[in-house]
C-alpha cells in the first residue's frame, strides 16, 4: 500500500513539473514578444556618418558630435524635400566652380576661311600638235612624257606618201612649167596645208630634191606630253598629276624624278608606228601660268566670292603669295557637294611645281553677329555645347556655330548677349563625364 501511494505521488510530481515548464516557456515567449513590440513601437535614431550608433532618443552622436537622425521603419515612405532633391541630382547635371566666364560679343569681324589645295595645269595653255598627213613615224626626237621642249624644236620625222606626192607635183611644175605661177602657187599652198613651213618649201624649191621624211616642229615652249596622258591630267583629279623634270614634281616629293610608264614617263608612241591624218599624237603644255585649286565645302564656300583676297602658303617652302579668287564653280564628287575655287598664278622659271600642296587663307568681312571664344565651345561630335552660368551654377546648353575667325567663333543660335559662359569649356568635364544637354 505504501509503495502504491509513493508511485502515485511520483506521477503527480512529474506531471506538475511538465506543466510548470510549459507555462514558464509560454510566459517567456509572451514577455519576449511584448518587449520586441515595445521596442518596435519606439523611434530609433542613428548617426549619418556612423550607422552603428543607434539610440532611442535624439541627441548628438557620441563619436562625431553630429545630430542623430530618425531611422526609417521598414515600409515607411521617404519624403523627398527640396534639400534632398538637390542632393539626389546627377553629379554631371550641374557644375559649380569659380572658373573664368565671358559674355558673347556682338560685333563684325574679318572671317578667315582655310582650305588645302594643289597646284595644277592651266588647261588653256595646252597646245595640240595634230598630224596633217598620214604616214609612218620614221624617227622620234623626244624620249619621254613631260620632256622640256622649245619653240621650233624638232619632235619627230614622218614618212608620208601623200606629202611626197605633193612635193613631186611642185618640183614637176618648177621644172616643166616654171612660168605658170598660178599652178606653182597652188602646189605650194597645198604643201602649206599639209604642214610644211615656208622655209621648208623654199628649201625644196632651191634644192629640187624630194624628202622622204618630213619633220614636225613644236610651235610653243613647254613640256611634251602624249594625248593619252593628257586625259588623266584634268584639274578635277589632282592626284593624277605626275612629276617631271624641269621643275615639276609630285606632291609628296621634292625630288625631280622621271615618271614611270604607268604615270606617263615612257612614251607609248614608237618609231615605225603609223599615224592617220588629223591624229593628235602629242600636246605641249606651257607652265608659265598655273592654277591653285581648292575643294571647299558648301558651308565655307558661301563665305568666298570672286575677287576676294587670298593668302597662299606652299608646302616645304617659305613662299607666300597674295592673290585673288578668279574662279568659283560648284561640283559633285564622290557623293559630296563641293565648290571648286581656283586662283590663277604666274609661274616664272617654274617657281611652282605641278602637284605641290598649297594652303589658302580666304578673308571675308562678316556682319554684326554674336561671337564667343573658341575655347568656350565644346564639340561632342553630334552637337556643340557651351556652359552657361546662372546663380553660380554652370549648366551645359546646346549651341549652333558657323564661321571661325582666329580665336573666335560665330554663334548662330543657343546664346544671347546677356548670357555668361565658361571661358574654358573643356575644364568643365573629365574623361569619364557624360553631358546631358537641356534645351
Instruction: Residue 359: give its domain's CATH number.
Output: 2.40.30.170
Mean residue pLDDT of the chain comes to 75
DSSP secondary-structure letter at 278?
T
DSSP 37-86: HHHHHS--EE-SS-TT-EESS--B-TTT-PBPEEPPPTTPPPP--HHHHH
Q: What is the pLDDT of residue 259?
A: 36
Tell me which of 339, 365, 391 is where a domain ends.
365
Report the distance separating Cα 151 and Cα 136, nearest Å: 24
DSSP 75-144: TPPPP--HHHHHHTS-TTT-B-----EE--EEE--EEEEEEEEEEEE-GGGEEEEE-SS-EEEEEES--B
Domain membership of residue 61 as a residue range: 42-73
Report the distance separating Cα 67 and Cα 385, nearest Å: 43
- 410 with 334, same domain: the answer is no
Structural domain count, the chain: 5
Report the distance separating Cα 128 and Cα 165, nearest Å: 26
More confident residue, 266 or 27: 266
- 272 with 141, same domain: the answer is yes
157-214: pLDDT as tens digits: 888 888 888 888 888 888 888 788 888 888 888 888 877 778 888 888 888 887 777 8
Kindly tell me if the per-residue pLDDT of 21 is higher than 70: no
364-383: pLDDT as tens digits: 777 788 888 888 888 888 88
Q: Please give the helix or strand (H or E) that residue 359 lies within, else none.
A: strand 357-365
Output the nine-digit C-alpha cell for 117: 589645295
Report the distance separating Cα 100 and Cα 421, nearest Å: 9
255-293: pLDDT as tens digits: 333 333 334 567 888 888 888 888 888 888 888 889 999
Q: What is the pLDDT of residue 253?
A: 34
Report the distance separating Cα 195 and Cα 215, nearest Å: 9
Q: Which of 328, 323, 321 is nearest to 304 (CA)?
A: 328
Scanning 270-321, the segments in alpha helix (DSSP H) are 298-301
Residue 354 within any structural domain of the chain: yes
378-422: pLDDT as tens digits: 888 888 889 888 887 888 888 988 877 778 888 888 888 888 888
Kindly tell me if the per-residue pLDDT of 431 is higher than 50: no
Report the distance separating Cα 134 and Cα 90, nearest Å: 86
Q: What is the pLDDT of residue 261?
A: 36
Residue 244 within any structural domain of the chain: no
Residue 221 within any structural domain of the chain: yes
When pLDDT is cut at 50, 70 and 90, the band that residue 344 belongs to is very high
Residue 1 within any structural domain of the chain: yes
**CATH code of the domain containing 218:** 2.40.50.100
Report percent pLDDT > 70 for the chain: 73
Cβ density class 56-66: b for 16+ within 10 Å, e for less = eeeeebeeeee
Residue 436 within any structural domain of the chain: yes
Amino acid at each position: 500500500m505504501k509503495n502504491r501511494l509513493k508511485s502515485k505521488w511520483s506521477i503527480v510530481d512529474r506531471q506538475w513539473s511538465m506543466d510548470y515548464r510549459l507555462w514558464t516557456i509560454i510566459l517567456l515567449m509572451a514577455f519576449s514578444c511584448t518587449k520586441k513590440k515595445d521596442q518596435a513601437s519606439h523611434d530609433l535614431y542613428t548617426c549619418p556618418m556612423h550607422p552603428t550608433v543607434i539610440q532611442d532618443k535624439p541627441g548628438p552622436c557620441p563619436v562625431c558630435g553630429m545630430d542623430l537622425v530618425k531611422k526609417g521603419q521598414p515600409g515607411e515612405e521617404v519624403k523627398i524635400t527640396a534639400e534632398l532633391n538637390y542632393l539626389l541630382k546627377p553629379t554631371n547635371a550641374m557644375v559649380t566652380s569659380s572658373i573664368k566666364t565671358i559674355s558673347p560679343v556682338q560685333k563684325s569681324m574679318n572671317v578667315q576661311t582655310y582650305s588645302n589645295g594643289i597646284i595644277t595645269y592651266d588647261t588653256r595653255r595646252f597646245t595640240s600638235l595634230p598630224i596633217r598627213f598620214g604616214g609612218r613615224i620614221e624617227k622620234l626626237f623626244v624620249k619621254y612624257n613631260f620632256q622640256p621642249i622649245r619653240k621650233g624644236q624638232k619632235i619627230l620625222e614622218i614618212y608620208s606618201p601623200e606629202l611626197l606626192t605633193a612635193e613631186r607635183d611642185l618640183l614637176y611644175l618648177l621644172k616643166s612649167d616654171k612660168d605658170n605661177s598660178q599652178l606653182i602657187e597652188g602646189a605650194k599652198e597645198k604643201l602649206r596645208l599639209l604642214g610644211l613651213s615656208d622655209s621648208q618649201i623654199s628649201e625644196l624649191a632651191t634644192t629640187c630634191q624630194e624628202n622622204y621624211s618630213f619633220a614636225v616642229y613644236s610651235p610653243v615652249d613647254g613640256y611634251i606630253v602624249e594625248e593619252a596622258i593628257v586625259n588623266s591630267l584634268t584639274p578635277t583629279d589632282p592626284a593624277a598629276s605626275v612629276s617631271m623634270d624641269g621643275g615639276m614634281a609630285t606632291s609628296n616629293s621634292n625630288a625631280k624624278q622621271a615618271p614611270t610608264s604607268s604615270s606617263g614617263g615612257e612614251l607609248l608612241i614608237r618609231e615605225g608606228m603609223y599615224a592617220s591624218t588629223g591624229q593628235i599624237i602629242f600636246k605641249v603644255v606651257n607652265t608659265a601660268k598655273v592654277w591653285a585649286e581648292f575643294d571647299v565645302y558648301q558651308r565655307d564656300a558661301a563665305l568666298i566670292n570672286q575677287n576676294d583676297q587670298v593668302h597662299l602658303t606652299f608646302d616645304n617652302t617659305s613662299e607666300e603669295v597674295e592673290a585673288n579668287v578668279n574662279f568659283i564653280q560648284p561640283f559633285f564628287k564622290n557623293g559630296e557637294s563641293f565648290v571648286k575655287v581656283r586662283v590663277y598664278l604666274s609661274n616664272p622659271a617654274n617657281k611652282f611645281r605641278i602637284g605641290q600642296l598649297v594652303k589658302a587663307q580666304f578673308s571675308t568681312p562678316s556682319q554684326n553677329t554674336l561671337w564667343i571664344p573658341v575655347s568656350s565651345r565644346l564639340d561632342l561630335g553630334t552637337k556643340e555645347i557651351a556652359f552657361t552660368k546662372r546663380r553660380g551654377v554652370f549648366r551645359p546648353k546646346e549651341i549652333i556655330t558657323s564661321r571661325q575667325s582666329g580665336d573666335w567663333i560665330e554663334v548662330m543660335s543657343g546664346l544671347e548677349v546677356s548670357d555668361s559662359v565658361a571661358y574654358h569649356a573643356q575644364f568643365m568635364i573629365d574623361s569619364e563625364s557624360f553631358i546631358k544637354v537641356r534645351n
